[in-house]
Amino acid sequence: MRAAMCKDVAWLGRPNTKGRFTMDLGDIAGKAKDLISGNPDKVEEGIDKAAELVDDKTGGKFTDQIDGAADKLKDMIPGSEA
């Protein structure tokens, strides 16, 4: 049972001595890169939604800066057409 459970949650990382799953920063970064490169359109959409939310919350005072940051983020996405 435990082996089956561990297989199902293998994406969480490795169990430590207390049985908790841990993941180092390299694991997290690698998984993030895989997700981003596999879904560039969805990532760009998420960036646009986040930028719009921040712009709304700041009352439009920083629209140029927010748009510029969003554009730079989108330029960093592998396989992006931005």
Residue 32 and residue 44 in one domain:
no
* pLDDT tens sequence across 59-80: 999 999 999 999 999 998 887 6
Q: Quick one: which of 81, 56, 51 has its CA closest to 69?
A: 51
Whole-number pLDDT of residue 73: 93
Is the pTM higher than 0.95? The answer reads: no
Domain count for the chain, please give it. 2
Query: Using CA atoms, how far apart are residues 23 and 50, in angstroms rounded to an integer?
Result: 26
Query: Using CA atoms, how far apart are residues 18 and 69, in angstroms rounded to an integer?
Result: 41
Residue 32 and residue 57 in one domain:
no
Residue 49 and residue 28 in one domain:
no
